[in-house]
Each structure stands twice: as C-alpha cells, then as structure tokens.
Amino acid sequence: MRPNTVKQLWREGKPAVGCWLGVPSSYSAEIMANMGFDWVCVDTQHGAIDYSTALPMLQAISTTPAMPFVRVPWCEPSIIMKYLDAGAYGVVVPMISSRADAEMAVAACRYPPRGYRSAGPNRIVYYAGQDYFEHADEEVACIVMIETPEALANLDDILSVPGLDAAYIGPSDLSQALGLGPRYNADNPKHAEAVTRVREACERHGVIPGIHTSGSGLSSRYITEGFKMIMLTTDTAGIIAGARGELAAIQPALTAATAAI
C-alpha cells in the first residue's frame, strides 16, 4: 500500500503543512496539489463541494505526492466511509464534542474488528494499491476537530480514544465556543490559552495537535509552539489576496490615466 507520508512525518516528529480546498473544481485542486504541500484537504463542510465534485478533486490530487484529505460535513459513518473509498488518506471530522463522537469517527475509519467500516472500496485500491485492506487501518488518518465548548470540557475523554491520529482546532468555532464571536482571535488570551490547552492535551495522549490558520504568520507561530498539522492557506484565500493586491497596485496608474482625460 502507498504509505501515508503525512503519518510518516508525524512518526518522525515533523510538522505536516497542508492547504484547504473550497472551490469545487478538479482543476484548481490539481494546481494547489502541485504547490508543495504535504497534504491537501477537500473541504466538504464549509467548502462549496459535495461528493460528486469531490471525487475528481481527489483524483486530481492523486496526480501528485500530496496526501489527499477530506473534511467531512459531519460526524456520520456513511459519509466518512464514502470519502475513504473515494481516495481520502485522512478524514477531518468536525464538531466532535464527546468521547462517543470520537469513537464513532474512529470506528468509521477502521475495518472490523477495530471498527465497523464496510468493505467495498472503489477507487482507493487504484490509488493505494491492491493490498489496501491489509494496511488501511494503519495508514488512514482519523482526525477530529476540537472547536465546541463540550469538546473543551471533554478533552481527555476524546483524546484518549484508541485509534485517533490527530486533533485539529477550528479557531473560528473555538472562538465562538469561548464567547469571542465567529472570527479569528488568535491574540486573545482566552483563545491562546485554549489553543495551548488542546495542544498540551494532545501531547499528553500521544495525539498529533493540528490547527487551521489564516496564513504564514499564524502558521509559523503554531509550528513553533509545536503543532504538527498545520493548515497554511486555501484556494479562495489566494484568489482574494491576488485580486485585491493587484487591484490596489494599479490604482496610481489608473488615477493618473483618469486625471489625464
């Protein structure tokens, strides 16, 4: 089976840097997957993407060495299994609030007897190899999101679930959970303290700490703090920054041209 190179990095104690896809297109997915990220995550929760658009995106990522991940829309076994069959080497499961949630996420990622994943993969055996069944339980990364008040309260219960690979902080929802509103609040002490608390709990339980960021500034900070799964940037962030930056840069020329009329 093709190894999960992100899990290899983790075993070596190294951070794995990834990106997020919200645009439902296999073309933009292929471009992003060629940029040099360790993993590329198709976001089917907040991205404008569902199964039929995600499938060719996973194929497009598979033309590169980047590991294909999927954020599923919710903690539901059927959709977790469906994206694993479709080629995901990691699933990011949002809004995990309890040990039971985390156990369900893990069980959906593992074949019996470790879980109850249904056997019948489709394209994954072409991407992963015909011996996928034998190694999938080891190679597939099960990643739960920590972002609700309940999750903060149940951290140790959640992180001690066997088979859990990583815990990934959703900073906007975490901010909401802390009563700070639905925006990035990395510099708010309450937010920073919660982030640290999650990371330390991960380290205590041998779970990889991960976090979603808004770019290189926060990513650098969290890498330095010890996070090992870093979401650096997204397809739409690039589109927006590119357009805004270029439009700002031509204003002098535009103003001069208009003044000259």
Q: Phi/psi class of residue 140: alpha, beta or left (left: φ > 0; alpha: ψ in -120 to 50)?
A: beta
Using CB under 8 A as the binding rule, the residues of this chain from 134 to 163 that contact a copy of itself are 147-149
Name every residue whose Cβ is closer than 8 Å to that of residue 238 and which is 6 or more positions away in sequence.
Answer: none
Contact with a copy of itself (CB under 8 A): which of 4, 7, 19, 185? 19
CB atoms inside a 10 Å sphere around CB 12: 7
Residue with tokens 């569902």: 50
Contact segment (CB under 8 A) with a copy of itself among 107-115, 158-166, 186-194, 195-203 equals 107-115
- Under the binding rule (CB under 8 A), the answer on residue 205 touching a copy of itself is no
- Find, among 137, 154, 123, the residue nearest to 57 by Cα: 123
185 binding a copy of itself? (CB under 8 A)? no
Shortest distance, position 145 Cβ to a copy of itself, whole Å: 9
Closest CA to 15 of 233, 209, 213, 218: 209
**Judged by CB, which is closer to a copy of itself: 27, or 200?**
27
Which range of residues in 153-161, 186-194, 203-211, 239-247 is near a copy of itself by CB under 8 A? Answer: 239-247
Enter the tokens of residue 39: 């993993």
Residue in the structure block whose two tokens are 């066997």? 162
* Angle, CA of 199, 201 and 204, to the nearest 5°: 110
Q: How many residues bind a copy of itself (CB under 8 A)?
A: 107
Our answer to whether residue 46 is catalytic in this structure is yes
**What is the smallest separation between the CB atom of 106 and a copy of itself, expressed in angstroms?**
16
List 22, 90, 209, 210, residue binding a copy of itself (CB under 8 A) = 22
Single out the segment in contact with a copy of itself by CB under 8 A; choices: 160-168, 189-197, 198-206, 229-237: 229-237
Please give the positions annotated as active site: 46
